[in-house]
Structure 1
Amino acid sequence: MPAAVRFGVNYTPSEGWFHHWLDFDLDSVRADLDSVAALGLDHIRVFPLWPYFQPNRTLIRPRAVEQLVRLVDAAAERGLDVSVDGLQGHLSSFDFLPAWTRTWHRRNLFTDPEVLDGQAAYLRTLAAALAGRPGFLGMTLGNEVNQFAAGPHPDPDRATSEEIEAWLTRMLAACEEGAPGRLHLHAEYDATWYQDDQPFTPAQAARHGAVTAVHSWVFNGTAQRHGRTSVPAVHHAAYLIELSKAWADEPHRPVWLQEVGAPQPLVPAEHAAAFAAATLAHVLDCTDLWGITWWCSHDVSRDLADFPELEYGLGLLTNDRRPKDLAYELARAARDHTRAPAVRTTALVVPADPSARSACGPGGRVFDAWFRLVADGARPASVLDVHADDKEHLAARGITEVVTPDQVLPVPHGPHGPHGQDGPQGGTRS
């Protein structure tokens, strides 16, 4: 663990969005990075688009890889470390998958032997090209790749949890082969934590890779149910961090809040800075936090069509590189934060069974109980039900009190009596 929390931003190029790889302009990239570095941040996360870099299963374009290396070097010149996503994948509602995996060449992304060979070669190649660069942090396998594995995706590549386990193991090994000893990890959207039939499981998220990554978005039902200033909305990112620790084998495994943002209209632009300030304060009250990486650096240009409306205004900076009040909140946190959160001694019991994880999502009993505790002034952690009586496990995490959702919340009553079928149900992001 680093001595201090890392503060960074997911880099969205101001010119051409991620399509900038087709017309790569290093001067424009440098100007973007200057505007990020001016905020006092220390890292960025960047997104090569997979079909642009590997248009054929046996063709990884050398020029594209060279451009990625030049971007990483330009960031290092400005004091910015870089984490690189590989299998990209999915960004801002658009899927970017190479033609050799779709339509006439339709093959499962997680199980087809030839696709796996191509993916591993690609990840290994990117990692090896960057291994010697001083500012290179490591690889993330891809952005929210779990959305390809289940609904609500309209054309999912179905896989079992056992097949996902094998996929994660092989792909992380490919990154390690290319760049030994770097910070290699995988990252999913919150269906991993909230959706009962999602084959990417919480245990995999908390046990594979160098750190656990969580992505916090309050448009998953949290802000809709409770409002932008509610306890659940401004503590949602902290909740995911603490929830993830329940499944970790290591008592102090680091957690990276790899994405968090202020989505309009649920968080109107004039309230984004206040939302950020509250979210950051609560996140920084979590122990074992590796870093915070805001989504995103620059607004999407209105010249680009068909994005969901919220995507156009998520930047810390405008499309012409002017910082917003939101940016100053992140800059202030990076400048003023001193790492001193106390250990959380009270833990809420969480079901270890992944088929019951909707209890942890918006509307679920675990979710509601955790935020009831917060509203009452507690600082809850979480613990799996299988460890609730494990004195050694609890002691290693500093937990001295364990409570269940039923001890925190009233027992729900419906037409079928206590725990009736109309009780709270978990929600997932769509």
Structure 2
Amino acid sequence: MRAVQDRHRTGPEEDPIRTLRFGVNYTPRHGWFHSWHDFDPARAREDLEQIAGLGLDHVRVFHLWPLLQPNRTLIRTGAVDQLARLVDLAGEVGLDVLVDGVQGHLSSFDFYPEWTRSWHHRNVFTDPEAVEAQAALLRTLGRALADRPHLIGLQLGNELNNLVEHNPVTVEEVDHYLDTLLAASREGVRPGHLVTHSAYDAAWYGDGHPFTPEASARKGDLTTVHPWVFSGDCARRYGPRSPQVRHLAEYGTELATAYALDPARPVWVQETGAPEPHIPAADAPGFARATVRNAAECANLWGVTWWCSHDVDRSLADYPELEYTLGLFDSAGRPKPIAEAFAEVAAETHSIRPRDTALVLDCTPATRSVSGPGGAYFEAWMRLRAEGVRPAVVLASRADDAEYLAARGIKEVVRPS
């Protein structure tokens, strides 16, 4: 596996240069994730070769929970073997791999095994037997993949907080759920592999949402953020070429850093993309370049993983319109202009630019939306950014902690006016 991060100075007066990871979330071109029903290694390899051809270094991959674990006490060996084969194929073409375990939620669809539904409904977050079943699945996947030298690690699942609507849960129950599944994942993989979890933006911006910023920023080996331009209607509110849109991933990285206990905790922009019509196709390459370049200046950035590799084929029905055009490649496997732009910016040399000014975020779980698009704090941060200031984010509880501020290189603390 490639090194997570390698920083060095090229000269006494220059900003630190580091190696970042650039990859893509793999969406199979033929049949989308339904392709797991009749997995075709040759087609998968073709997709992965296209991705590697862009010069990217990793993919994030997903199997479907109902196919892996159709019964609470049955994990299908054949399905696990399929996943392992996909991981091997990625390695053969030079790609490292993060595996998401419990899907869960993918591109507007939820995938529940039948044993969690109908007359024997189980809350996937709080039912002890349901939680243990997911833990068993993650242990199994980790053990099956642990010997792969190109495995980055294991993630609990994709944006599991999307399942909250059908599975009511408290903050304390979420914490127990995450702790249980993270521990199970560590039992499977080997030391050196990452163990992570992910949540969509409600964890950061949603008033009272049970998945909290603290859980995202303090549990697992690094923080993952999914700064989508449709969250809070950001692109429509401010415009597709606005600073608010083009600095959104940078802002999300700095917001995540503020909630971490460790000032140096890495942050992974694990999903970002150019959904039409929020980002018109003609603006997509420029959006990709600006998003990556701005985020790359953040000291704690681990890497950027684009959503997604291939467009959903329009022969498949019932997706939101934006899902059909999110790929770097179209549904015929041809690279789109955004693919060339992302590959270009991924190949650039990226330097860390120090942030010695921090804007204080003072909110409660019930007023978290101030930090999202349209919120007073979000707009204050973006005003500073547009004025040429490169603000960090600091929580009000740490704004007077001199040792902490020094560890982050912050010399001036300002409050929103």
| TM-score, length-scaled by structure 2 | 0.95
Question: What do the CA deviations read for 1:95-140 (whole angstroms, capped 9, x no partner)?
Answer: 0011111121211111101101100000110111000011111111
For 1:49 and 1:263, how far apart are their aligned partners in 2?
24
Q: 2:356 is matched with which residue?
A: 345
Which stretches of structure 1, 4 residues or longer, exceed 3 Å deviation after superposition? none
Alpha-carbon distance in 2 for matches of 1:256, 1:29: 25
Partner of 2:408: 397
CA distance in 1, matches of 2:363, 2:258: 9
Contact 1:206-1:248 at 8 Å conserved across structures: yes
Please name the residue that 1:159 is paired with.
169
From 102, 106, 109, give the equivalent of 2:117: 102
Match of 1:310 in 2: 322
Aligned pairs (5 A) from 1:354-365? 354-365=365-376
1 CA distance for matches of 2:198 and 2:354? 25
Checking the alignment, whether the CA contact within 8 Å between 1:351 and 1:357 is kept in structure 2 is no
Give the structure 2 partner of residue 276 of structure 1: 288
Match of 1:73 among 88, 98, 114: 88
Are 1:250 and 2:258 matched, yes or no? no
The answer as to 2:247 corresponding to 1:235 is yes
Distance 2:394 2:238 in 1: 25
Structure 1 gaps, min length 5: 407-430
CA drift of 1:344 comes to 0.8
Aligned length: 400
- Secondary structure of 2:112's aligned partner: coil
Distance apart, 1:52 and its partner CA: 0.9
Give, in angstroms, the shift of residue 254 of structure 1.
Answer: 0.3
Q: How does 1:285-324 map to 2 (within 5 A)?
A: 285-324=297-336
TM-score, length-normalised on structure 1?
0.92
Indicate the RMSD between aligned Cα atoms, in angstroms.
0.9
Would the aligned equivalents of 2:257 and 2:300 in 1 still touch at CA under 8 Å?
Answer: no
Q: CA deviation at 1:354?
A: 2.1
Residue 197 of structure 2: aligned partner:
186
Q: Which residue type is aligned with residue 319 of structure 2?
A: F
TM-superposition CA deviations, 1:284-343 (whole Å, max 9, x none): 11111111000000000111000000100100001111111100111112222x232122
Contact 1:2 1:290 in 2 (8 A): yes
Secondary structure in 2 aligned to 1:142? Answer: coil
Instruction: Tell whether the 8 Å contact from 2:90 to 2:96 is kept in structure 1 after alignment.
Output: yes
**Which position in structure 1 is the counterpart of 2:187?**
177
Answer whether contact 1:88 1:96 (CA < 8 A) is retained. yes
CA distance in 2, matches of 1:17, 1:259: 18
Contact 1:202 1:354 in 2 (8 A): no
The separation in 2 between residues aligned to 1:266 and 1:339, in whole angstroms, is 27
Identity %: 56
Q: CA deviation at 1:352?
A: 5.3
SS at match of 2:359: strand
| Secondary structure, counterpart of 2:397 in structure 1 | helix
Contact 2:24/2:60 (<8 A) preserved: yes
Query: Could you tell me which residue of structure 1 aligns to residue 389 of structure 2?
Result: 378
User: Partners of 1:192 and 1:51 in 2: how far apart?
Assistant: 25
For residues 351 and 247 of structure 2, the distance between their equivalents in structure 1, rounded to whole angstroms, comes to 18
The gaps in structure 2 that reach 5 residues or longer are 7-18
Given that 1:83 and 1:138 are in contact with CA atoms closer than 8 Å, whether structure 2 keeps it comes out as yes
